[in-house]
Chains A and B, each alone.
Chain A
Amino acid sequence: MDGLARPDIEALLGTAEDYVALSRQVEKKAATLRGRTQINLFFEPSTRTQSSFEIAGKRLGADVMNMSVSSSSVKKGETLLDTAATLNAMRPDIIVVRHHAAGAVNLLARKVDCSVVNAGDGAHEHPTQALLDALTIRRAKGRIEGLVVAICGDILHSRVARSNIICLAALGAVVRLVGPSSLLPAGIERFGVEVYHNMQAGLAGADIVMMLRLQRERMNGSFLPSVREYFRYFGLDRDKLAFAKPDALVMHPGPMNRGVEIASDVADGAQSLIREQVEMGVAVRMAVLEALAGHLPNG
């Protein structure tokens, strides 16, 4: 998201709106990427992001190939750049990349001739997630400017949080971060956000409550004492949600840990936007792929 200005973001969201409509029709196909090859290159497994990009590419008419590298070449000692060079020689038009290391997508993009979409790199960025969150909020609230958005949980390890901070700030929202200090990155106060260490203060007056996934390996002892202590202070249940505005809406990038960062009744409740987020994901990814279509080789 870093480097995208407000008009760029709004243009993408505008295109995505059209694709929401298209995706709700019986005939869901467009011809924007007909004849094009899209490779989804995932160095760490992510069922939902990968399938979302796959559907987005197919609805635009591209030939989509999924490649999970964690299970193949890397184990044979092939480096990231070798993999990139190999795929590049197959002349794809778009490569969608997910990698466990920050900056890896960036590095790969410099070594291939085609367009590259970042589908999440380490704790750095996950731009299409931020765009789909923005679209979801805009459709639910009619605007983003001036809304108070509280992003809660493991900010330290979250690429979703970083991209959302950039995106939402660019669109004029007030961004709050809520979490234990052991899960907040250093220098966070210089990100142009408000920082809270308890849910009551952090959610007071919030329009949107965005929960983050807590990775299992961080739950026991290293960053936090235990799951039950985390849920006690930072898990979103009805009582904590009551601190936010009465019409506040709840979001989660998925997959959820029910009973860890979010209670089931909240996740499935009337204030939840979580299923809309998934639908918007396809539309936003179609918009991103379309934006790249104008810049593809032989385009």
Chain B
Amino acid sequence: MILLVNARLVDPVAGRETSGGLLVAQGAIADVGPHLAAGAGPEGAAVIDCRGQVVAPGLVDLQAFIGEPGAEHRETLSSASRGAAAGGITTLVCRPDTDPVIDDPAIVDFVLRRARAASAVRIHPCAALTKGLAGREMTEIGLLKEAGAVAFGDAHRSVMNAQVMRRAMVYARDRDAVVSHFTQDANLAAEGSMNEGEFASRLGLPSIPKVAETIMLERDLALARITGVRYHAALISCAQSVETIRRAKDEGLAVTCGVSVNHLTLNEGDVGDYRTFLKLSPPLRSEEDRQALVAGLAEGVIDAIVSDHDPQDVETKRQPFAEAADGAIGLETMLAAALRLVHSEEISLPRLLHALSAGPAAAYRLPEAALRRGAAADLIIFDPEEPWVVDPSLLASPCKNTPFDEAKLQGRVLGTLVGGEIVHAVAGALPGL
């Protein structure tokens, strides 16, 4: 048993915060509330004095690349688990674009078995929606779901053929599966490497227009309307997409969406002098788009903030911008980067934490992330104010492609619990931890 006392309890589901304590027993939250004052727990409970720091449900990250199987030099389940735990992520959904692709129940089984041995945080695979991510034939959605896949999508690729997409959606609806799709028209995006506009034009870079995203999103929603599938737009990046999702939700479609923490806190100007660590897919957009995403987050139009963790080694990033690989690591910086929005008073802390835990959990129908009795004790204790400077050499990932290299961030995870077990603790940060 663990008793957390003197905690600032932030419950994203209830949308409120209170002072009090929380009792963990048998991997679950046994009791929670203001009545659990200092030392008022049962006999034998290990007491952690939170000293007024935030206690909240562990973060749920719906999109991260882990290189098992096939790209272990970029990330292993073990290193991803350490990074996630340090970043307060207790549930991680991994991308299907491994080698081999997660398009077969045996691979789902492999990942889950490896994760049980190597990972302290909960790992769930997102399976491919089409075989080999080729966009032609749907995968065994039913069998993959039974094996443990929590969603279906083709990673950073869109299914371009609308007929294939329609059939996959209607089939997924019957199997009650979530389709989580990357929305970018491959022809409009072509060889682009940056948001279309003045910045890309000045840098002379081939660019990706916003319409590449919105046209695919509109198509998907038209298909979602006639199929009734549970649809998740995995990574939206621009203002128009927020509007489109808002309308779909108002209409009553079963639609959710995610946005990466990078797109909420950075914009195309950060690419600066061809900084390849800022080369992302979808590309960073304009400041107006960033603000619209934040507004959509505050309103609840956006359900999930994801790390979109994508480790890339030196060889693929130290290239001319257009030839460099997309992607940025983000497990350990997701919370602190997202807290920038709280510190700049663009969003409240409970709302932010909702989009980092309860929102994504609901989108993929994972167990509810709430501070209530009976819920799994997947918890974080964090200091939202503590300043730190990102030192890539201290991050767990073998790859160091962080867009927050040497950035000053505020907010640090002091302790992480998964199923009541402490999987990460900053030594000496809190009495009893």
A residues with CB within 8 A of B: 2, 79-81, 99, 101-104, 106-107, 121-125, 159, 162, 185-188, 190-191
Contacts and interface: CB of A to CB of B under 8 A. Distances in A.
Interface string B180-204: 0000000000000000111111111
Given A102-B205, A103-B274, A122 B200 contact: no
13 contacts: A101-B321, A102-B320, A102-B322, A103-B320, A103-B322, A106-B273, A107-B319, A107-B320, A122-B320, A185-B201, A186-B201, A187-B199, A188-B201
A103 B203 contact: yes
Interface string B312-342: 0001001111110000000000000000000
A101 B198 contact: no
B209 interface: yes
B256 interface: no
Nearest to B273: A106
B198 A123 contact: no
B98 interface: no
Contacts of B315: 79
Contacts of B202: 2, 162, 191
A121 B200 contact: no
A122 B319 CA distance: 14
Nearest to A111: B318
B238 to A, nearest CB: 14
A99 B197 contact: no
Contacts of B323: 101
B273 A102 contact: no
Contacts of B204: 102-103, 121-125, 159, 162
A7 B320 CA distance: 31
B273 A186 contact: no
A69 to B, nearest CB: 13
Contact of A101 (B199, B207, B322): B322
Given A102-B204, A102-B274, A186-B207, A122 B198 contact: no
A32 to B, nearest CB: 30
B318 A81 contact: yes
B203 A102 contact: yes
A99 B200 contact: no
A158 to B, nearest CB: 9
A77 to B, nearest CB: 10
Contacts of B201: 185-188, 191
B267 to A, nearest CB: 14
B416 to A, nearest CB: 38
Interface in B260-318: 273-274, 315, 318
B211 to A, nearest CB: 11
Contacts of B198: 186-187, 190-191
Contacts of B205: 102-103, 122-124
B319 A80 contact: yes
Contacts of B203: 102-103, 124
A80 B209 contact: no
Contacts of A185: 200-201
A106 B274 contact: yes
A107 B274 contact: yes
Given A102-B205, A104-B320, 19 more contacts: A79-B319, A81-B318, A102-B320, A102-B321, A103-B204, A103-B273, A103-B274, A103-B320, A107-B274, A122-B205, A124-B203, A124-B205, A185-B201, A186-B197, A186-B201, A186-B207, A190-B198, A191-B201, A191-B202
